[in-house]
Amino acid sequence: MGRRYEVRLSGEGGQGLILGGIILAEAAAIYDEKNAIQTQSYGPEARGGACKSEVIISEEEIDYPKATRLDLLLALTQEACDKYVGDLKEGGLLIVDSTAVERIPAGNFRVFRLPILETARERIGKALVANIVALGAIVGLSGVVSRQAIEKALLARVPKGTEELNSRALVAGLEMAEAVKE
């Protein structure tokens, strides 16, 4: 992956999307030794229920730190999906939570409906790790960073004793991606 790859994680406040973006950027910049920038917007455009975090990853120079045409959009709410899907480039990846997002807007992109929120809540037993499940799905479907890099970036952020739960969440996302990949 030499070219610029743009990811936006979107949903609502409290879903850990900003931290999810930070971990993805750290996986790329620290462990895969690529260029990466993570930003989040709190300005007037972010008002309302929507929350977004953007990550740009490239093996080349990043000439502009904001996303312009998304390669991958994660939407954990219908509102976020409706609001941001127009920024997805042709042939891009749209990953939506299968329970929270019912209507998929029309467009020339690949859609993956995944039970991210339910998996975090039911299978892992902690709704808060939906962001980590989502990271697993993003990495599994896009390959934007290596599996080893995302594992290391995650484990570098968690305190002793909670590694297992967070690792399970990441693996659940990776497996989910594996199951729907063509």
List, in sequence order, every residue forming a beta bridge with 5; answer none if it has no partner. 57
At its nearest, how many Å lie between another protein and the CB of residue 131? 8
Indicate the residue type of 100.
Answer: A
Contact region with another protein (CB under 8 A), list: 41-49, 88-96, 115-123, 138-146 = 41-49
Instruction: Supply angle C-alpha 94, 96, 97, rounded to 5.
Output: 165
Interface segment toward another protein; rule CB under 8 A; list 35-43, 83-91, 103-111, 112-120: 35-43
Q: Does 124 bind another protein (CB under 8 A)?
A: no
Q: What is the DSSP string of 97-146?
A: ETTT--PPPP-SSEEEEE-HHHIIIIIIS-GGGHHHHHHHHHHHHH-SS-
* Helices assigned H by DSSP within 6-118: 17-26, 78-84, 116-118
Rg, C-alpha atoms of the chain: 15
- Is residue 19 a contact residue for another protein (CB under 8 A)? yes
**Residue 57 or 177: which CB sits closer to another protein?**
57
Binding mask 132-151 for another protein (x = CB under 8 A): --------------------
Q: Which residues pair with 6 in a beta bridge?
A: 56
- Binder of another protein out of 157, 167, 171, 175 (CB under 8 A): 157
Residues of span 42-71 touching another protein by CB under 8 A = 42-46, 60-66
- Please report, as ranges, the residues that interact with another protein according to CB under 8 A: 14, 16, 19, 22, 25-26, 29-30, 33, 35-46, 60-66, 126, 128, 156-162, 165-166
